[in-house]
Chains A and B, each alone.
Chain A
Amino acid sequence: MVKKLFYILLAVIMISSCKSGGDRSADSNFEVPDSILNQGLEISEETMQNVVQNISSPVEMAALIKELGVPYSNKYLSSTTRVENLTTSFKQSLNLGIYGCDLGYLNMYNKTSSVIEYISAIKTLADEIKVGQFFDFTTLKRLATNNQNLDSLMYISVHSFNQMDKYLHSNNRSNLSALIVTGVWIEGLYLGTQVVKEAPNQLLAERIGEQKITLNELILILENFKADKQYAKLINELMLIKNEYKDVNIKIEKGEPEAIEENGMLTIIQNDKSIVEISDDQLKSIISTTEEVRNRLISL
């Protein structure tokens, strides 16, 4: 009897110590449409994981915009007042990505007062789809409130998204990961197109033109889930943007890479070059269709 009690006590202590080491446990009770569970993937989860890596970053477009000297504007952001109306895992995941991109933009411009509003929205949505444990809301809120250690704020924000993405993949929930990635991407494209509309810039126009490559990858991923009506509808929306890209040409000039070592640092210069051919009219059409699609997606 004493031995048994000892074992139980030991188990309780071990469970407690596990918990104190960081709550990384996850509830397996999540919502996945039956149509997806029943259809099976056309390609393996492993392949999916390989395809999805880094397809859209919540900070890269914002970083470029800031480096171009474009001032901050909150009119590009998606309102967080919609969060309560997002009641399905489909909408929650898609908007998690949209708010993630907005958070990257806010972080980039050190708009810490608005950051709290967006991390709250993200935390709510992440909890709904059972990945909230990867989003360190308390630390993020503290960093944003104190307006200090902004590098850490950026690191934890981006790292949290990466953790969520990895977890969803490893738990056969790539369908939700694909939606988050789509949300990040569409909001990033919306941000870029809205900025270029007001402040024309060749580099930004090229970056928008190059999204033809990313969009193709994204549609390829989403097509694995097209048996679900919501995914099919989302693909149709993205196809409208793809259609605007059909005459955008991307040429490749070949060249040998160079390695330069200077002051103990190694730099690789790529001499392959991609050249984007995008006309003003094509850019205008992409801007307008992206705006329409993004606005429809956030009002779903």
Chain B
Amino acid sequence: MKKIASILLFISLSCAISVRAQDISQLTAQCAANAGDVMYLKDFIVKLDAGTPGGAPPTARFALLLSKSVVYRFSICTAPNSEGEAVLQLFDMNTLLGSTFISATGKDFPYFDFKCQKTGVYHVFISFKEGKAGDGVGVLSYVKKL
């Protein structure tokens, strides 16, 4: 009987993972659609635990190659069950280029456009406000050539 219970537990967990994959897949498609009349290129899926009090917020980092003379759009979407709100930031080495949340004004943007003038490796950082836990998706889209 224990064996059957273990199998059932395993199946339940597998199903939960499958359901989560479906939810994330839908969120990705929704996020790509919300980006507007642009062409989807890449997604960055994150699942982050809550940070420790006083510590830096947990952050997922992705390296990506962007091309000169292209306008890219970076979008962010937070899964409905998340405790926090996802924020996407774009870095060139240590320089912050853009963010979906401007802390100085407290303003959120569902996406921002980046007019790329330099081909190279950039980094996308995704975290949740105040280091809260959450699931989210960042989407990179192609807007047009500059």
Interface residues, chain A, with chain B CB atoms under 8 Å away: 3-4, 7-8, 10-11, 14-15, 17-18, 21-22, 24, 50-51, 53-57, 59-60, 63-64, 67-68, 154-155, 158-159, 162, 203, 206-207, 210, 213-214, 217, 250, 252, 257, 259, 265-274, 276
> B43 is contacted by which of A8, A162, A203, A207 (Cβ under 8 Å)?
A162
Q: A64 to B68, alpha carbons, bound, how many Å?
A: 11
Q: A223 to B142, alpha carbons, bound, how many Å?
A: 30
Contact A11 B11 (CB under 8 A): yes
Contact A21 B42 (CB under 8 A): no
Chain A contacts for B25, CB-based, 8 A: 22
**Chain B 82-111 against A: per-residue CB contact (8 Å), 1 yes, 0 no?**
000000001010010110101000000101
Q: Is B125 located at the chain interface by the 8 A CB criterion?
A: no
By Cβ-Cβ distance, the 7 closest A-B pairs, closest first, are A268-B98, A54-B64, A266-B112, A274-B118, A210-B119, A270-B117, A267-B113
Question: What size tier do the contact residues of chain B reach?
Answer: 35 or more
17 A-B residue pairs with Cβ-Cβ distance under 8 Å, sorted by A, are A3-B1, A7-B4, A7-B5, A21-B15, A53-B62, A53-B65, A63-B142, A64-B70, A67-B144, A155-B32, A159-B43, A162-B42, A257-B95, A269-B115, A272-B92, A274-B68, A274-B119
Q: Is B50 located at the chain interface by the 8 A CB criterion?
A: no
User: With A51-B63, A271-B117 as given contacts, are A11 and B7 in contact (CB-CB < 8 Å)?
Assistant: yes
> A14 is contacted by which of B15, B22, B66 (Cβ under 8 Å)?
B15
> A265 is contacted by which of B7, B11, B65, B113 (Cβ under 8 Å)?
B113
Q: How many A-B residue pairs have CB under 8 A?
A: 148
* B7, B67, B102: most-surrounded residue (chain A CB, <10 A): B67
Q: Is B78 located at the chain interface by the 8 A CB criterion?
A: no
Q: Which residue of A lies closest to B96 (CB)?
A: A257
**Chain B 40-76 against A: per-residue CB contact (8 Å), 1 yes, 0 no?**
1111000000000000000001111111111000000
Contact A217 B39 (CB under 8 A): no
